[in-house]
Structures are given as C-alpha cells and as structure tokens.
Structure 1
Amino acid sequence: MMAFLDSNYLITNETGLRIFAEIRNLPVVDPHNHANVKEIAENTNYADAWQLFAATDHYVWEMLRKRNVPENLITGDAAPKEKFLAMAKIFPELAGNPVYEWIHLDLKNYFGITEQLCGESGERIWNEVNAKLATDAYRPQQLLTGPLNVEVMSSTDDLIDTLEYHKQVNEAVGRVLVRPTWRPDKAMKIFAPGWRDYIHQVEERFGMKIESFDDMLEAMTRSHAFFAENGCRASDHGLEYPVYADCAFGNVNETFRKALAGKDLTQSEIDCYMGTFLAEAAALNAETGWVTQLHIGAVRDVRYSLYESLGPDVGGDVSNHLLDFTPNLVRFLNRFDGRLKVVLYCMDAIHQMTLATLTRAFGATVSLGSAWWLNDTPIGMRRQLEYIGSIDVLSNFAGMVSDSRKLLSYGSRFEMFRRVLSDVLGGMVERGQMPEQIAMELAARMAYSGVKSFWNL
C-alpha cells in the first residue's frame, strides 16, 4: 500500500520505479504553455500563495465552484488570504481530482510542506509559503532555472506581440530559456465579436491598411518572419473542429470584406475563411520548419453567466465527442504531406483513437500531442500512452506539455507525466513486452531527447 504522494506515487511496479529514477531529474522541455513572460521578465517576488497556486488557474477555479465556493472568493475582489483559506477549507473534498495532487506536490517539492491542505492547516501553510515567497530564491527566474529545472519553454503569443519580454528573460538568465509561439487565432476567428477591432490593431502593429485577405496574408507573413527572427519554433491554432482548407482566394477575399463591413457571415463562409487562413499559416511554417499545433475540440464558453460576467478562459469550456475530425484533417494533412510537422491535440478522449490512426497513416511528420486539458490526468495520460503504444509508435510521441498559466506546473504536471510514463513502460517490461534497457531509452526519449529533436529546441 502506498502512502499519499510517497516515492511510489502512481508507480505500481518495480521496473517502473527504476525507470522513473532515470528520468525524474531530466531537464524540463515544455513546447507549449501559457506563461506570463512579462511576469518572468520583471522577476519580482510573488505577492502571496494565492497568486502562486490559484490566481491564474482555471482548473482550480472550476473545482472551487463545484464545492460551492462563492465567485467573490475565486475571481472576485476578496483579499487573497480569504481566497486561499476558502480553498483550503474545501480542499480535502477535491481528493480524486488531479488539482488535489498537483498542489500538494508543489507544496511538498518546492516548500517542504507535507502537511495536507485543509481548513485547520490553511493559515499555517499560507504563512509558511508567503515567508519563502519573500526570498530571492522564489522569484520566477530563480524557480525556473533552479528547482523547476526548465531547460527551454515555449510561451503562447499573439500575432501582434512585440516579444520584448522574451529577450529580457533570455538576457537575464544568459541562455534561451523562453521561446515564443505564434498563435494567430484572433485574426483567424472571423466570427468573434471583437474581430474587426482586432484587425485595426494588426494595421497599427504593421503600419498598413488591411482591406482584403491578401492584405491580411501580408501582415501574417511579416509577423511570422518577426517571430522567426526571435527564435520561434512553432505555431498554435485553436479549432472547435477542423475546417476545410482548400477554398478559392476570391471567395475568401469576398468574405473578408463582408466581415470588415460588419455584415453577418454564413457558417460556410466562416469555415472557408478559417480553413484558408490555417492553410496559409501552415505554408509559412513549412518554409521555416516550424511545428504546426492544432488544438481541436474545445467548445467554448457554454456557461453564459460565466462568460457574460468574467469573459473567456475562466472555466466554461467543454468537449463534444460527436465532432467529426477526419474529412477535413485528411485534406489538410495530404496538402502538406511530408513537408510539415504537425501535432494533433484533442479535448475528448474518444478522438484520440481517430488521431492516433491519422498519425500512424501520415508517418513521422505527424504526431499525437500529450493528453490535453480534460485528459491531463493520471488516468487520461495512462490511457493515451497505452493506446498510442499499440496503434502508433511511442518513439514518435510529441512530448509532455504543461499547457499552463502557472509556473509551478513545470514541477507537478511533469512529475505526474513522468511517473505515469514510467509505470506504463515498467508494466510492459514486466509483462514481457520489451526489454528493460529499451524501456529506459524510450522513457528518456519521450521525456526529453525526442521532444527537443522534434520541436527543434
């Protein structure tokens, strides 16, 4: 029997423990996250434990809502200490959800706190964490380059971003720690309410008039080149469903002008524009050797009260297993077959079956991304690894990503992944499916060396 978060945590076999011992201290390579690069560049001390553990984490917010914590104590104007103590009070009720494990892992590994977070311990833990956060060792850059052991990370950045904070971070630490990732979603999502205002921001950023998709493509090309000059290695695109990527430019220009005029678009016009935009972005990536990430299947902002009061990205998104990924993805992958690296992520576990077969069919340049969002759990990661190991090739796995806005995720989420990976491979060794030395090499490749190579990091 294991004790809570003991040395055997998530690992059920002796071979898995040996594998984990070999990979647990490998540097972290995180090709996709939502880090606040300005925060890292400024490198000021975190104000308190709430800011560090929960202020930017919608995973935590959703769990607090599930246990009837008032919104004022989650995203509202209550004092940070009130929020932290409200979280502590209900925290034992989150057992079984990975949030419970992540935060306890971070408390244990980076603050030496093994006491469980609860109502009775909340104030003691608040005070102990805050005392350490006031020291230089707990500033963002010191955490990343020290105990978190991050070798390189790729943030997520808008098409019009000027990337000055990336340069500041890298100069401060004396190496390339943070690379940008080109995410042009705001320009692509022509249906979004703020799309026209955003196009005006693109005009200002590049000093040009944008009156057609041809003009938009020129701005995209300039932005892409600027990101390349600043060390970018990948783009990222969020899609509820794959869109048709082979529309005629004349139709797309007509749709673009119609949207600029504030006229309503049909769904087919929206899909045509977005598909063409994605294809042109991918063509730029093919020229520079960037990886193209497709995050597919998030149905956004389904809880209207949350969206109306707080806006997007606050915990109101869901998955839909009925979305049909195959036809348009097949068209897209064939269009760039053999000349574009692609990573496919899905939000619903059922779609992993489809994506695993697609990555198998399209060879070494197309890979399945790590278990994403609602699958980013011990059970989700285990199921994915076991399935792709039998359908595709584990050696081609694109690697773990934190997908996080929270700095400590580089510790807890990567440890969770490496433990699950070790347990899965160790189990295969003990069932006679592979030699232990091969499993050791495979684990190191999936956790570190293969990731660096695939993403050109």
Structure 2
Amino acid sequence: MKNFLDDDFLLESKTAQKLYHDFAKSMPIIDYHCHLPPDEIAADKQFANITRIWLNGDHYKWRAMRANGVQEKYITGDAGDWEKFEKWAATVPYTLRNPLYHWTHLELRRYFDIKEILSQATARKIYDECSEKLQSPEYSVRSLLKKFKVEVVGTTDDPLDSLEHHQKLKQDGFEVKVLPSFRPDRAMNPDNPDALNAYIDQLENVVSTDITDYDAYLSALKARHDYFAASGSKLSDHGLDHIYAVDYTENEVKAIFKKIRAKEAVSTDENLKFRSALLYQFALWDHEKGWVQQYHLGALRNNNTRGLATLGPDTGWDSIGDFNHGKALSRFLDRLDTDNCLAKTIIYNSNPVNNDLFAAMTGNFNDGSVAGKIQFGSGWWFMDQKHGMIDQLNSLSNIGLLSRMVGMLTDSRSFLSFPRHEYFRRIVCNLLATDIENGELPNDIEWTGKIVQDICYNNAREYFGFYE
C-alpha cells in the first residue's frame, strides 16, 4: 500500500516516476490564464490568515461546504475567519474522491510543509501554523509566485480596466511577467439593455468620446484593445455558453445598437446577431496583433436564482451545460480562416461528452503555419480534476497531437493554486508511462521526457510570445 501524497503520488510505475522527477518536476510555470487580482500582486499583499488567502472567493470550496450542510454564514457570511476555517476543516474529510481533497492537502504540504490531514480535530493547529507563516516576507504574494517558479501570470481583465497595477509591476521590475488579457464579454451582452447602456456610458468616460452609434462603439472598444496591447497583453479571453456565429449585416447590427442605446429590449434573433458581430470583430483585432484568443465554452451559469440575487455571480451557482457546439464553432472558425484572419486559438470544453468534438474541431483549422495553432485547452472548471484531465488528454491524443499541447493553467483566484500544475504534470507522466509499460510506446525515456517538458513549459513559451 502506498502512502497518501508521497513523492510518487499518482505515479504508478518506475517509468512514471522517472518522467516526473527527472523531467517535469523542475520545469517553470507559465500560468497563462487565471483570475488572480493584479492589485494584490502590485501591493505585494500579505494575508492576515489562512482563511483570507484560501477560502475567500473560492467557490469550489463554497459548493462543497453547502453540500455538507454548512450555513452560508460560515461560507460567505459574517462569521469570523477562524469560524469559517473550522467549518471548512470539518468539511474536508467528507470530500473524499473530490479533487478538493487532493488540492487541499497538496497546498498544505507545498506551501506550509504541513503533512497532517485537515479535519476538525487538526483545524486549530493548522490554522495557527499557517496564519503565523503567512506573516513572514516569504509568504507575500510576490514571494509565493517566485517560490513556485512562476514566470508568467495571465490575468483576466475587462476592457474598462485601467491596467495600472500591471503597469506598476512592470515599473517595479518584478521578475514575474503579470500580463493582462482582454475579456470583453460584458460589452457584447444585450440581455439587459440597462446594464449594457451603463457599461457603454462607462466606456465613454474611459475613452473620452461620445458613443452614439455602432461605429463609435467599435472605435472605442478598439482603442481599449490597442491600450491592452500597449500594456503587454498577448491574449484575449471569452467565457461563453457557446460560440455565436449567426449571419448578420452591418446595417442590422447598427440598428440593433440604436435599440440598445434607446433602452429597448432586443429580440432573441437580434441578440444573437449583435453578439456574433462583436465576437467576429474582436477576433479580427486579435489576429491583427498576433494575439492568442481563448474561448471557454459550455458552462451553464447562474442556475440558482435565489443564490444569485443574494450573492451575485461567480459564487458557486454554475454548472456543466449541454449546448450544441459543433456547427457554430465550425462557422466561426471557418469564416476567420477563409478571410485569412484566424489567430492562434484555444478552445476549452466544460462537458466531457464534447471532448472528441472539440479535439476534432481543432484539427480542421491547423494550417501548418504554427505548431499547434488551434489548441484543445486543458480540462476546464468541472473537468480540471484527475478523470477530467485524463479524458481531455485521451481525446487530444487520439484525435490531435498531445505533444503540441500548451499545458496546464490554474484558472484560479487563489495564490495557493499552483500545485494544480504539479497535479497535471504527474497525470501526464503517468499516462505516457503506462503506454511505455504496456509496450504501446517505445521505452525511449529521453524523447518522451522531452515531450513531457514541452507540454509542461516549452510549448507555451514558444506559442504565446511572452518573451518577445
């Protein structure tokens, strides 16, 4: 029997152990997509205790606590930090086989050198030990990034963001590149005309220009896209239920924009046309600048109306969706490719039944100009756990080229999430080693080790252009 979380955790053979320890373990991290707050990195924040850095904002843990019967007071409510941590500690033993069990104890070990199992019985000791360590300079957020050999952090930013914190980090000469990513989802959502008009009004103030028609709107958004590029951005990102790719004319979209500015409701057909027009326009700008565009697809968001009304979005009420992706993805990518304007693209899937579809779709638009130009991104959200990762890796291996994958990302709001890269790397090494052990791949450790290092780091370094 193996010991829990020993040095060979998830590594089921000597070959897997060699691939991980000799090739993957020491590779730096390029975390090209996450939700870390740049203001906290710029301020080199020190967290007061483990609750503040570990539980605040983590809707994965919040969902588990709710499922375990914990009252909201101890999750997002007004209970004290120790009380919240105690409730989480009491929940952890009940998360067996949930990835949270692995992540929780990996993070305690890698950040705090704590090997005890978290439970209600050990909660006080672990809370005090972690909180004390967090007061030392080596636990400031910048120090934590350097501790895990993070070279790049790609934050997720609205076009309205000033990016002042990214600029401060660059001025400070901080060793880790903290770069913005352009995420204009709010700018293309006419579901609530009042909310979209308020957004447009804010954009007017940012660009100091009146926005009275669609052309002015595009001009203002383009100015922000240019501003992001000048601030070091190399990526865009969208979090969408599915790709929008219906037919429209410019005159139709201009008329829809007038309706929006008049605070009139738009029809379902008009909604789709407006979104399709803007999504295509953003993609043209990405290609123009040589950016990588990312599409996180398939989440069914805000399912709990009562929870949403009480706590707002991104608080644990989202789920896997069952959208039809194939035709829209094909139409969208094909139009860009036909116009010779298809940027490097990563598509992320949140529903495992669509893994083969996504893997196959990427192969339709690789044109030989760039290795792995169109990427099937790593297991996302509900899929960034052991079985979800393996499913994604298997689909990519069977239908595309695993060897050209740009690797893992945390997609996290927590500074304690970087062991997810280790988790992914161990799984990749074990997957390849199993094939070697079974005689399905040659026992060429040096070549396979090179492929492992490419997936962990080298491919991302070459693909994104962060070092140009």
**Paired residue for 1:440?**
449
Q: Structure 1 residue 36: deviation in Å?
A: 0.6
For 2:410 and 2:219, locate their aligned partners in 1 and report how far apart those are by CA, in whole Å.
Answer: 32
Q: Structure 1 residue 153: deviation in Å?
A: 1.1
Q: Is 253-262 or 414-423 further displaced after alignment? A: 253-262
Q: Deviations over 1:48-100 (max 9, x none)?
A: 10011111111111111110111010001111111001111121011111111
Give aligned pairs, total: 454
**Paired residue for 2:417?**
409
**Paired residue for 2:391?**
383
1:348 corresponds to which of 338, 347, 351: 351
Q: Structure 1 residue 170: deviation in Å?
A: 3.0
For 1:369 and 1:186, locate their aligned partners in 2 and report how far apart those are by CA, in whole Å.
Answer: 23
Q: Is the 8 A contact 1:429 1:436 kept in 2?
A: no
Aligned amino acid, residue 237 of structure 1: H
For 1:112 and 1:239, locate their aligned partners in 2 and report how far apart those are by CA, in whole Å.
Answer: 39
Q: Structure 1 residue 365: deviation in Å?
A: 2.0
Residue aligned with 1:343, SS: strand
Does residue 125 (structure 1) correspond to residue 126 (structure 2)? The answer is: yes
For 1:217 and 1:178, locate their aligned partners in 2 and report how far apart those are by CA, in whole Å.
Answer: 27
Could you say what the CA RMSD is over the residues aligned between the two structures, in angstroms? 1.3
Aligned amino acid, residue 172 of structure 1: D
Q: How does 1:175-190 map to 2 (within 5 A)?
A: 175=175, 177-190=177-190
**Paired residue for 1:237?**
238
Q: Structure 1 residue 175: deviation in Å?
A: 3.6
Residue aligned with 1:203, SS: helix
For 2:197 and 2:404, locate their aligned partners in 1 and report how far apart those are by CA, in whole Å.
Answer: 40
Q: Is the 8 A contact 2:406 2:457 kept in 1?
A: no
Q: Deviations over 1:243-285 (max 9, x none)?
A: 1154211111111111221211111111111111010000001
Q: How does 1:304-383 map to 2 (within 5 A)?
A: 304-321=305-322, 323-337=323-337, 339-363=342-366, 364-383=372-391
Equivalent pairs: percent with the same residue?
32
Aligned amino acid, residue 35 of structure 1: L
Aligned amino acid, residue 182 of structure 1: F
Q: Structure 1 residue 320: deviation in Å?
A: 2.1
Residue aligned with 1:194, SS: helix
For 2:185 and 2:406, locate their aligned partners in 1 and report how far apart those are by CA, in whole Å.
Answer: 22
- What TM-score results when the alignment is normalised by the length of structure 2? 0.95
Q: How does 1:390-401 map to 2 (within 5 A)?
A: 390-401=398-409
Q: How does 1:39-54 map to 2 (within 5 A)?
A: 39-54=40-55
For 1:245 and 1:29, locate their aligned partners in 2 and report how far apart those are by CA, in whole Å.
Answer: 35
Aligned amino acid, residue 451 of structure 2: L
**Paired residue for 2:257?**
256
Aligned amino acid, residue 88 of structure 1: A
Q: Structure 1 residue 115: deviation in Å?
A: 0.7
For 1:383 and 1:49, locate their aligned partners in 2 and report how far apart those are by CA, in whole Å.
Answer: 33
For 2:162 and 2:148, locate their aligned partners in 1 and report how far apart those are by CA, in whole Å.
Answer: 27
For 1:258 and 1:249, locate their aligned partners in 2 and report how far apart those are by CA, in whole Å.
Answer: 14
Q: Is the 8 A contact 2:160 2:224 kept in 1?
A: yes
Q: Deviations over 1:259-312 (max 9, x none)?
A: 221211111111111111010000001110001101111111001111010000
**Paired residue for 1:14?**
14
Q: Is the 8 A contact 1:53 1:103 kept in 2?
A: no
Q: Is the 8 A contact 2:151 2:175 kept in 1?
A: no
Residue aligned with 2:239, SS: strand
Q: Structure 1 residue 24: deviation in Å?
A: 1.1
**Paired residue for 2:369?**
none
- What TM-score results when the alignment is normalised by the length of structure 1? 0.97
For 1:143 and 1:112, locate their aligned partners in 2 and report how far apart those are by CA, in whole Å.
Answer: 14
For 2:89 and 2:24, locate their aligned partners in 1 and report how far apart those are by CA, in whole Å.
Answer: 32
Runs of 4+, deviation exceeding 6 Å: none
Q: Deviations over 1:425-457 (max 9, x none)?
A: 111222223333221111111110001111212
For 1:249 and 1:142, locate their aligned partners in 2 and report how far apart those are by CA, in whole Å.
Answer: 50
**Paired residue for 2:79?**
78
Q: Is 173-182 or 352-361 further displaced after alignment? A: 173-182
Residue aligned with 2:320, SS: coil
For 2:352 and 2:170, locate their aligned partners in 1 and report how far apart those are by CA, in whole Å.
Answer: 37
Residue aligned with 1:12, SS: coil
For 1:431 and 1:401, locate their aligned partners in 2 and report how far apart those are by CA, in whole Å.
Answer: 30
For 2:101 and 2:170, locate their aligned partners in 1 and report how far apart those are by CA, in whole Å.
Answer: 33
For 2:149 and 2:365, locate their aligned partners in 1 and report how far apart those are by CA, in whole Å.
Answer: 34
Does residue 450 (structure 1) correspond to residue 459 (structure 2)? The answer is: yes
**Paired residue for 1:303?**
304
For 2:171 and 2:183, locate their aligned partners in 1 and report how far apart those are by CA, in whole Å.
Answer: 24
Unmatched segments (≥5 aa) in structure 1: none
For 1:279 and 1:297, locate their aligned partners in 2 and report how far apart those are by CA, in whole Å.
Answer: 19
Q: Is 433-442 or 303-312 further displaced after alignment? A: 433-442
Unmatched segments (≥5 aa) in structure 2: 367-371
Q: Structure 1 residue 110: deviation in Å?
A: 1.2
Q: Is the 8 A contact 2:58 2:414 kept in 1?
A: yes
Q: Structure 1 residue 173: deviation in Å?
A: 4.6
For 2:172 and 2:8, locate their aligned partners in 1 and report how far apart those are by CA, in whole Å.
Answer: 37
2:430 corresponds to which of 415, 423, 446: 423
